[in-house]
């Protein structure tokens, strides 16, 4: 009996200590540079989204790393609310490898996207720098380079391809740059706003890509707005909207997302 009670007491102490340690490790989920293991679920105008992020050991005490996988836009015919064409298959896939240096507030990101509807994708590498906080405002400038690839664009070498040829032929279209910023406003202890403008422009590639590769032009300005509410230290609910200079806010992508820090 004494042994059982002692074991129970030690187990209780270990569980309490573990819980305190875990609570101390909770990251600020409103910080664009925060690194933490997470799971998320989104309800969007195009269907449902799933997200999972896993931290990993970088081998350097002053840095942190995280991989994030997102599957977007499935079950769109059943759950999507937009008037645009939707089906139940997956619309797009996104993979991000994210790292941050804790000594200088500098992050780096590999961002890979693939759209299954258009069979077009991109991969980019960016640097993000946290600037000193200004009252309720935080700014994180970003600069990066990337490349675009996918089904061969009509009008490139090979001429205007028909549908069968497009399905069978893929190539790298060209390269692009991205300059932007993550912005955060802390409204209250539990409510914050984000605005993330990004400007992209083509650098090299086929003449068709350089002139028309970014939404029918050589450059495009995109916008992302989100509003977050911290339900608990480990859970939040966020509303997102994405649009560009060529797409009005109402016609952009909208979603409500629940995220939990594991």
Both tokens of residue 134?
Answer: 């200004």
pTM of the model: 0.84
Tokens describing residue 11: 């187990």
* pLDDT, position 193: 98
**Per the structure block, which two tokens stand in for 86?**
């939707």
Residue with tokens 């996988």: 69
pLDDT at 87: 73
Nearest to 80 by CA among 42, 118, 43, 40: 43
pLDDT of the chain, 262 residues: tens digit per residue = 433 444 443 344 333 333 333 444 799 999 999 999 999 999 998 899 999 999 999 999 999 999 999 999 998 888 877 766 567 789 999 999 999 999 999 999 999 999 998 899 999 999 999 999 999 999 999 999 999 999 887 665 444 545 554 455 788 999 999 999 999 999 999 999 999 999 999 999 999 999 999 999 999 999 999 999 999 999 999 999 999 999 999 999 999 999 999 9
Q: What is the pLDDT of residue 22?
A: 42
Burial 62-80 (b: 16+ CB within 10 A, else e): ebbbbebebbbbbebeebb
Q: What is the spatial distance between Cα 54 and Cα 148, in angstroms, rounded to a whole number?
A: 26
Residue 49 bridge partners (DSSP)? 42
pLDDT at 50: 98
Identify the structural domains of the chain with CATH numbers, from first to last. 2-261 (2.40.160.40)
Q: For position 76, what pLDDT does the model report?
A: 83
Helix residue ranges, H only, 25-82: 76-79
| SS3 (DSSP) at 255 | strand
């Amino acid at each position: 009996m004494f042994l059982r009670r002692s074991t129970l007491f030690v187990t209780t102490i270990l569980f309490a200590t573990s819980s305190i340690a875990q609570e101390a490790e909770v990251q600020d989920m409103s910080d664009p540079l925060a690194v933490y293991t997470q799971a998320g679920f989104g309800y969007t105008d195009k269907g449902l989204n799933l997200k999972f992020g896993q931290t990993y050991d970088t081998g350097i005490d002053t840095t942190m790393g995280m991989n994030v996988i997102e599957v977007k836009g499935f079950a769109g015919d059943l759950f999507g609310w937009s008037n645009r064409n939707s089906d139940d298959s997956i619309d797009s896939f996104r993979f991000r490898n994210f790292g941050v240096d804790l000594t200088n507030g500098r992050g780096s990101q590999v961002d890979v996207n693939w759209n299954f509807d258009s069979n077009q994708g991109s991969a980019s590498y960016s640097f993000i720098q946290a600037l000193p906080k200004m009252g309720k405002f935080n700014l994180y400038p970003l600069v990066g380079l990337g490349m675009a690839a996918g089904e061969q664009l009509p009008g490139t070498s090979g001429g205007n391809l028909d549908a069968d040829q497009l399905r069978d032929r893929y190539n790298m279209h060209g390269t692009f740059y991205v300059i932007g910023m993550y912005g955060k406003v802390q409204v209250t202890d539990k409510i914050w706003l984000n605005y993330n403008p990004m400007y992209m422009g083509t650098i090299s590639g086929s003449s068709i890509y350089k002139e028309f590769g970014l939404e029918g032009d050589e450059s495009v300005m995109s916008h992302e707005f989100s509003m977050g509410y911290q339900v608990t230290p480990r859970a939040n609910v966020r509303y997102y909207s994405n649009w560009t200079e060529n797409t009005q806010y109402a016609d952009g992508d909208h979603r409500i997302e629940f995220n939990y820090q594991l």
